[in-house]
C-alpha cells in the first residue's frame, strides 16, 4: 500500500505539463470566469462594437465598478469568514450623507473622509456585536440594521441631498493621475491591500480557518469572537470608503444612494468569484473578476438598450445562477 | 437454522480500512430477547443501521424466512415491522403526546381536520396498555416530558405501528433505576406478546437479567451466540475483550519526571469534580465507555468547554479558564477524536493545517512566510512519513492515518509540554497505528507528558503508565502498572446505579 501511494505521488508531480501547472496557478475557477467575461465581451462587442470598445466606454466600465469593487472585496472577506453583510448598501448611503455633512460643516475634506470611515466602522461594530454576542443570524441581523442605517441617513439629512463644494474632495471623484482616473487607482490599491491581507497575512489565513471550521479555529487558539466582530468592522469601514468615493464622484451626499441593490451586486460578485456561502472559500482575484463580469453586463445591457426593469431580472438571475453553480461544484467534490 | 422470521445472513460491511462487520449471521426469533454486547467499535451500531436500512451491507443479506429483503431507507424497514429505538428519542417536542404516538396516522374528520376526540381515545387506550396513564396525558406537550417518558413514547409509537422486531440501543443510559425497571417490565410484556427484542447495552448485569440469548461481537466478528442462562459478567466481559496483546503496544522506556499538569476539582457541564496529575514523560491513559465524559474531560482541560469549577496548573502555573489560546500558550496540545470536524481544515493544504498553531514561527511582519513554514513542517512530515505528493496536497485527499499525522505535526510544531490524544488510532490502518505508537513512546521518552484517551484496551495497557477509568463524567478508578487489565477497567467503566456508586470509587 505504501509503495502504491508513493508511486501515484511521483506520477502526479512528474508528468504534469507546464500548461497545466500554469492553469493550476490561476485556478480552474478563475479561468472559467475569464472565459465567461470573454463571451460577454464578444456578445456586446458584436452587437455594439463601435461604442463598446471605445476607450471612453472602457473607462466608463472601470469607473462604474470602483465602488462595487471595494464592496465585493470586503464582502468576500466576510463570506470567507462564514458570515454575510447585506447592510453594506445602507452603510454606503449613510456615509455619503455624513461625509457631505462633515465637509459642509467644516469645509475640510479630511474631516469628511474621517467621518465616512469612522461612521462606517461604527455601523460595522454594531453589526458585529449583534451577530457575535447577540447570536443573531448574520442575514437577519444585517437585514435589520440595513433598515436602521437607511433610516438614520434620512433622519440626519432630513431626506435632502447635500451638495459638496470642495474641489480637493471632488478631485478624488473626477481627477486623473497618469491619465487614469484616481478612482481606478484607488480600486487597484485597495485590491492589492485586500489580496495581501486575505491571502498572505496570518490574520487572513486565520479567517479562512474560522470560516472553514470554527471548531478547529477555536481549538487552534483563535479568538473567534474577536475575529467576527473585527470582520464586520472591516466591512463597515470598506462600505464607508465606498460611500466617500460615491460622494466624491457625484459631488453630493444623498440618503437614497446605495439603495440601488449595491449589496446584491457585491454578494453576486463575491459568489461568482468562487466564495462558498458556507465559508472558508473565496479569493480577492475571483471577486474582482466577478465585478468585471457585472460591470460589462451592466454596461452592455445599457448599450444594447435593455430596459431597466429587465436589467433587474438579469442581475437577480445571475446571483442565483452563481450560487447554483457553486453548490453543484461543492457537492461534487 | 430454518426460521420464518428476520435473520441476518453473512453480513459484511467495510468503512475505508475498518472492517466494521465481518461475515455476521444472526437469526432473530419472535418472543425472544436477544442481547447484543461488545466493546465500542465492535460493530453493534453498524449492525443496527443495516437492520434499519440506513446502510446497505457490502455483502450478505437481510432475510425474512428465506426471502431476501432490501431496505433502501428506514421507511422500508419500518413498513416491514423493524423498529430501532435510539439513545436519543426522535420526538417532536412541540407536539402533544397523542400526536407523537400517532404521527403519520392521525385520525381525521371529513378528511382534513384532526379528530381530537378519537385521537385522545386511542391514545388513552395505548397509555393504559403500557400502564403509563399516571405519567403522561394525551394532550401534554412532549417538551414537558423527561428522557424516560420520551423513550416510552417512541416505544409506544413503534408497537402501535405494528413493530415485530424492536431494537433498543442503550436504552437505560439516561434512565433512573426506577424508570429502567419499568422499561424492563414493558420489554418482558412485549416478549410475551411475541415481539422479537434486540437489546444493546453495556450494563452486563441488565443483559444477564433480561436476555434469553446473548450475542457477543468483537472487531466486527461474531464470537459467541449462546443462551443467557449460566452466563456471568466475567465470562461475557472476557469474550468481549479477549484479544492477545500484540507486541505492537510497547514502550522502550518507562521514566517519568517532575509533575507537569495538575487538575483539581475540574467541573464543567459534562464532567464532575475531576482531579488528575500527569508527570513529564508519563503516559496517562483514560478509559471508559462511549459517553463516559472522556472527550469532554479533554475539552475541559484545553479550555474549550466552560469551566464551572476547579483549577488547572502546568508546572505550577495556573492556566486561565475558557480559552484554548491560554492552554496552547501554557504548552498543551490537543488532537481531538473527530478529526474531520474538530481537527482539520479539510479543504486546506497539509502545510496550512500543520502550521495553523505556529503563526509566530511561520510569519514575517504578520505575513505568512512559506519558506519558514516549510522549514518547520517538512522535517515533521518526513519524521512521521506522511504520504502525499507534496505538502500542498489538500488534507481531504489523505487517508485517515495520514490525516492524523497532519494533526500531530501541527502540535509537534508547537513543541508542547503536554499532548492530549483523543482516540488517536481510530479508523486508521495497522501500519499507521504502529507509527503513532512509536511516536507516543518517543515523545514520552523526550519528557513530554501525554494523556491518551482510548477505547482500545490493548493500546491503553501497552502504552500507559497509569489508567484513569471514567463513567458518568467522573473518575471511578485509577490503575497503575502492572495492575492494568481489561477486566478491571471494564468493571469500573460500567455505568453504576447511583446508589452503589459510592462503593465503587477507590
3-state helix, strand, coil in chain A (%, to 5): 80, 5, 20
Which residues is B285 bridged to in the sheet? B452, B467
Report all structural domains of chain A as residue ranges with CATH numbers, in order of start.
Answer: 30-332 (1.10.3470)
Nearest to B352 among A8, A200, A205 (CB): A205
Closest-CA residue of chain A to B303: A219
* pLDDT score for B503: 39
Report the distance separating Cα B454 and Cα B467, nearest Å: 10
Do strands A252-253 and A162-163 pair parallel, antiparallel, or not at all (unpaired)?
Answer: antiparallel
Contact B368 A205 (CB under 8 A): yes
- Segments of chain B with pLDDT less than 70: 1-3, 17, 40-41, 173-174, 241-249, 429-431, 496-506
Q: Is A4 on the interface with B (CB under 8 A)?
A: no
**Probe site for chain B from A205, A275, A329 (most B CB atoms < 10 A):** A205
Beta carbons of A218 and B304 less than 8 Å apart = yes
- Please tell me the least confidently modeled range out of A51-55, A73-77, B289-293, B460-464: B289-293
Q: Best residue in A5, A207, A220 to probe B by mutation, most B CBs within 10 Å?
A: A220
Contact B347 A220 (CB under 8 A): no
CB contact under 8 A, A223 and B341: no
Structural domains of chain B in order of their starting residue, each with its CATH number: 6-91+145-241 (3.40.50.300), 243-279+288-331+420-427+453-506 (3.40.50.300), 347-416 (no CATH)
pLDDT of residue B440: 93
Of B477 and A27, the one with more pLDDT = B477
Residue B475 pLDDT? 95
Output the pLDDT for position B202.
75
Measured between beta carbons, the chain B residues lying within 8 angstroms of A80 are none
pLDDT tens track for A232-281:
999 999 999 999 999 999 999 988 876 678 999 999 999 999 998 899 99
Quick one: cell of B193?
Answer: 406478546
* Structure-model confidence comparison of residues A304 and B2, the more confident one: A304
Q: In percent, how much of chain A has pLDDT > 70?
A: 91
| Percent residues over pLDDT 90 in chain A | 68
Phi/psi for A164 (5° steps) reads -110, 120
Region A64-89 average pLDDT: 96
Residue in chain A lying closest to B301 (CA): A219
Residue B317 has a pLDDT of 95
Q: Point out the residue among A2, A216, A223 whose CB comes nearest to the CB of B345.
A: A216
Closest CA to B450 of B247, B257, B274: B257
- CA–CA min distance B377, chain A (Å): 16
Query: What value does the mean pLDDT of chain A take?
Result: 89
Would you place residue A5 in the very low, low, confident or very high pLDDT band (cuts 50, 70, 90)? very low
DSSP letters spanning A132-164: HTS---HHHHHHHHHHHHHHHHHHHHTT--EE-
Chain B's closest residue to A199, CA to CA, is B368
Cross-chain residue pair A213–B363, CB shorter than 8 Å: no
CB-closest option in A13, A200, A213 to B390: A13
Give residue A333's pLDDT band: very low, low, confident or very high (50, 70, 90).
Answer: low
User: What cell does B332 get?
Assistant: 498543551
Which of A:275-294 have CB within 8 Å of B?
280-281
Q: What is the pLDDT of residue A2?
A: 38
Cβ contact A281–B347 (<8 Å) = yes
All three cell numbers of A144, joined, read: 435589520
Min Cα distance A127 → chain B (Å) is 24
Amino acid at each position: 500500500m505504501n509503495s502504491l501511494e508513493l508511486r501515484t505521488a511521483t506520477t502526479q508531480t512528474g508528468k504534469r505539463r507546464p500548461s497545466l501547472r500554469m492553469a493550476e496557478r490561476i485556478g480552474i475557477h478563475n479561468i472559467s470566469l475569464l472565459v465567461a467575461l470573454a463571451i460577454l465581451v464578444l456578445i456586446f462587442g458584436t452587437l455594439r462594437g463601435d461604442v463598446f470598445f471605445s476607450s471612453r466606454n472602457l473607462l466608463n466600465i472601470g469607473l462604474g465598478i470602483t465602488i462595487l469593487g471595494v464592496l465585493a472585496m470586503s464582502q468576500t472577506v466576510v463570506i470567507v469568514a462564514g458570515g454575510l453583510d447585506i447592510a453594506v448598501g445602507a452603510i454606503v448611503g449613510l456615509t455619503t450623507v455624513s461625509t457631505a455633512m462633515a465637509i459642509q460643516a467644516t469645509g475640510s475634506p479630511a474631516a469628511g473622509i474621517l467621518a465616512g470611515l469612522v461612521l462606517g466602522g461604527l455601523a460595522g461594530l454594531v453589526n458585529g456585536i449583534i451577530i457575535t454576542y447577540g447570536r443573531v443570524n448574520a442575514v437577519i441581523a444585517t437585514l435589520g440594521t440595513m433598515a436602521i442605517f437607511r433610516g438614520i441617513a434620512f433622519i440626519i439629512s432630513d431626506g435632502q441631498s447635500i451638495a459638496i463644494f470642495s474641489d480637493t474632495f471632488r478631485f478624488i471623484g473626477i481627477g486623473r493621475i497618469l491619465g487614469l482616473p484616481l478612482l481606478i487607482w484607488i480600486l487597484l490599491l485597495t485590491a492589492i491591500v485586500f489580496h495581501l491581507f486575505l491571502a498572505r497575512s496570518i490574520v487572513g489565513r486565520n479567517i479562512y480557518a474560522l470560516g472553514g471550521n470554527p471548531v478547529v479555529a477555536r481549538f487552534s487558539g483563535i479568538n473567534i469572537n474577536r475575529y467576527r466582530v473585527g470582520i464586520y468592522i472591516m466591512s463597515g469601514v470598506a462600505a464607508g470608503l465606498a460611500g466617500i468615493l460615491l460622494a466624491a464622484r457625484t459631488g453630493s451626499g444623498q440618503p437614497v444612494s446605495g439603495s440601488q441593490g449595491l449589496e446584491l451586486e457585491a454578494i453576486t460578485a463575491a459568489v461568482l468569484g468562487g466564495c462558498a456561502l458556507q465559508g472558508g472559500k473565496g479569493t480577492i482575484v475571483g471577486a474582482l473578476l466577478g465585478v468585471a463580469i457585472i460591470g460589462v453586463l451592466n454596461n452592455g445591457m445599457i448599450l444594447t438598450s435593455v430596459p431597466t426593469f429587465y436589467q433587474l431580472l438579469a442581475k437577480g438571475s445571475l446571483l442565483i445562477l452563481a450560487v447554483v453553480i457553486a453548490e453543484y461544484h461543492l457537492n461534487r467534490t | 437454522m430454518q426460521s420464518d422470521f428476520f435473520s441476518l445472513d453473512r453480513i459484511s460491511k467495510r468503512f475505508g480500512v475498518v472492517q466494521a462487520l465481518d461475515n455476521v449471521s444472526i437469526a432473530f426469533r419472535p418472543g425472544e430477547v436477544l442481547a447484543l454486547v461488545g466493546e465500542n467499535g465492535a460493530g453493534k451500531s453498524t449492525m443496527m443501521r443495516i437492520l434499519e436500512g440506513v446502510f446497505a451491507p457490502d455483502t450478505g443479506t437481510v432475510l425474512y424466512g428465506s426471502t431476501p429483503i432490501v431496505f433502501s431507507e428506514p421507511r422500508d424497514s419500518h413498513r416491514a415491522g423493524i423498529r430501532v429505538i435510539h439513545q436519543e428519542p426522535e420526538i417532536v417536542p412541540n407536539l402533544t403526546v397523542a400526536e407523537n404516538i400517532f404521527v403519520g396516522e392521525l385520525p381525521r374528520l371529513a378528511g382534513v381536520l384532526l379528530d381530537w376526540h378519537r385521537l385522545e381515545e386511542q391514545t388513552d387506550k395505548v397509555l393504559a396498555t403500557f400502564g403509563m396513564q399516571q405519567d403522561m396525558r394525551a394532550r401534554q406537550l412532549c417538551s414537558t416530558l423527561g428522557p424516560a417518558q420520551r423513550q416510552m413514547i417512541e416505544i409506544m409509537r413503534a408497537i402501535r405501528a405494528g413493530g415485530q422486531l424492536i431494537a433498543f440501543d442503550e436504552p437505560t443510559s439516561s434512565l433512573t433505576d426506577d424508570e429502567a425497571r419499568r422499561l424492563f417490565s414493558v420489554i418482558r410484556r412485549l416478549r410475551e406478546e411475541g415481539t422479537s427484542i434486540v437489546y444493546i447495552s453495556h450494563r452486563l448485569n441488565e443483559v444477564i437479567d433480561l436476555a434469553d440469548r446473548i450475542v457477543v461481537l468483537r472487531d466486527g466478528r461474531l464470537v459467541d451466540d449462546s443462551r443467557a442462562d449460566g452466563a456471568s459478567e466475567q465470562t461475557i466481559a472476557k469474550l468481549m475483550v479477549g484479544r492477545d496483546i500484540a507486541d505492537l503496544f510497547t514502550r522502550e522506556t518507562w521514566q517519568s519526571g517532575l509533575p507537569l499538569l495538575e487538575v483539581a476539582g475540574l467541573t464543567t457541564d459534562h464532567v464532575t469534580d475531576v482531579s488528575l496529575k500527569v508527570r513529564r514523560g508519563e503516559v496517562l491513559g483514560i478509559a471508559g465507555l462511549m459517553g463516559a465524559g472522556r472527550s469532554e474531560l479533554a475539552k475541559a482541560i484545553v479550555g474549550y468547554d466552560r469551566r464551572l469549577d476547579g483549577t488547572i496548573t502546568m508546572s505550577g502555573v495556573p492556566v486561565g479558564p475558557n480559552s484554548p489560546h491560554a492552554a496552547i500558550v501554557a504548552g498543551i496540545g490537543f488532537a481531538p477524536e473527530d478529526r474531520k470536524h474538530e481537527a482539520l481544515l479539510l479543504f486546506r493544504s497539509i502545510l496550512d493545517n500543520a502550521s495553523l498553531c505556529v503563526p509566530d514561527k511561520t510569519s514575517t511582519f504578520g505575513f505568512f512566510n512559506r519558506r519558514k513554514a516549510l522549514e518547520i513542517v517538512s522535517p515533521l512530515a518526513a519524521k512521521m512519513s506522511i504520504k502525499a505528493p507534496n505538502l500542498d496536497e489538500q488534507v481531504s485527499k489523505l487517508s485517515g492515518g495520514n490525516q492524523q499525522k497532519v494533526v500531530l505535526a501541527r502540535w509537534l510544531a508547537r513543541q508542547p509540554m503536554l499532548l492530549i490524544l483523543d482516540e488517536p488510532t481510530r479508523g486508521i490502518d495497522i501500519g499507521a497505528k504502529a507509527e503513532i505508537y512509536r511516536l507516543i513512546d518517543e515523545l514520552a521518552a523526550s519528557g513530554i507528558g501525554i494523556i491518551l484517551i482510548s477505547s482500545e484496551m490493548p493500546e491503553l495497557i501497552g502504552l500507559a503508565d497509569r489508567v484513569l477509568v471514567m463513567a458518568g463524567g467522573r473518575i471511578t478508578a485509577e490503575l497503575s502498572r502492572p495492575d492494568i487489565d481489561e477486566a478491571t477497567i471494564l468493571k469500573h467503566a460500567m455505568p453504576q446505579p447511583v446508589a452503589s456508586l459510592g462503593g465503587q470509587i477507590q
